[in-house]
Amino acid sequence: MTEPLLKRDLSSDISSAEFFDRARARLNFDVPPGLSDASIIPASGDQGTDRMLRIIAEERPIRPAAVLIGIVEHEKPTVILTQRAAHLNDHAGQISFPGGKIDATDASPLEAALREVDEEIGLQRSFIMPVGYLDLYATGFGFRILPTLARVRPGFTLRVNADEVDEVFEVPLAFLMDPINHQVHSKEWRGMMRSYYAMPFAERYIWGATAGILRVLYERIIQS
């Protein structure tokens, strides 16, 4: 895991057009084998986290999942995020991307992400223009998450499923892509330390897998 830069990275002010030009050049829809192969451990960049993921892969079955990184093309682009319902068994109340587990009936991770987005927040497919898959992201709960980056046309009306989501909101892309906002925290797991990202925004605490995936997005599209 790389430390955030102390000096403001001006590339965080990248235009929407340039951002998506870079994304199209760097991303594709090839499904990584690690999505379903427990022997392939997605690298996190943090030694403690990598060790945790190796242990988790031996102890728990893989749980393939897909999420949508939906970037709304306002004059200043924003990213769609949700606050998970407080009564859920997993990650209750946490900030996340819309998405969920990949079902056997889903034709692809992309189709799973689009289905979940419709089920959770009612975002219609006609507003979504998929760009490609980001890097596979693994969690300590056994999830293997494949994020789909997509352009989202403004003007949509959402239909929030209260059984899964308490709230939908948008965060400026420029804020999330500025490394000065990428905090590195650490916690103990089975006697060893591991690091994770957090990106607090106003009253929202964006952390864990969501912040980690956003950091990967920054590294792939902005930093590289």
Is the pLDDT at 3 greater than 50, yes or no? no
Residues 149 and 134 sit within 8 Å (Cβ to Cβ): yes
Q: Which of 40-49, 79-88, 99-108 has the highest mean pLDDT?
A: 99-108
> For residues 20 and 189, which has the higher predicted lDDT (pLDDT)?
20
CA distances from 184 to 132, 141, 204, 213 (A): 27, 20, 16, 14
Closest alpha carbon to 139 in 204, 220, 44, 206? 44
Question: DSSP E strands: which ranges in the chain?
Answer: 63-72, 78-84, 95-96, 99-101, 128-133, 137-138, 143-152, 165-172, 183-189, 192-198
For the domain with range 25-223, which CATH number is right: 3.40.190.10, 3.90.79.10, 3.30.70.580, 1.10.3720.10? 3.90.79.10
Report the pLDDT value the prediction gives residue 188, as an integer from 0 to 100: 80
pTM of the prediction?
0.91
Phi, psi of 122 (to 5 degrees): 70, 25
Closest alpha carbon to 176 in 59, 51, 72, 26? 72
Is the pLDDT at 14 greater than 90, yes or no? no
Q: What's the residue count for the chain? A: 224
Report the pLDDT value the prediction gives residue 16, as an integer from 0 to 100: 85
Is the pLDDT at 63 greater than 60, yes or no? yes
State the DSSP H helix or E strand holding residue 110, giving kind and residue range, or none if neither: helix 109-121
Report the pLDDT value the prediction gives residue 80, as an integer from 0 to 100: 98
Sign of CA dihedral 112, 114, 115, 119: positive
CA angle 222, 9, 147 (to 5 degrees): 30
Please write the tens of the pLDDT for every residue from 165-181. Answer: 999 999 999 999 999 99
Closest alpha carbon to 121 in 175, 79, 80? 80
Q: Specify the pairing of strand 63-72 against strand 143-152.
A: parallel
Is the pLDDT at 5 greater than 50, yes or no? no
Please write the tens of the pLDDT for every residue from 84-109. Answer: 886 665 555 689 999 999 999 999 99
How many Cα neighbours within 13 Å face the side chain of 48?
A: 13
Q: What is the rounded average pLDDT for all residues in the chain?
A: 89
> For residues 99 and 14, which has the higher predicted lDDT (pLDDT)?
99
> For residues 65 and 189, which has the higher predicted lDDT (pLDDT)?
65
Residue recorded with tokens 């987005």: 117
Residues 204 and 93 sit within 8 Å (Cβ to Cβ): no
Q: What is the dihedral of CA 64, 68, 69, 71, to 10 degrees?
A: 170
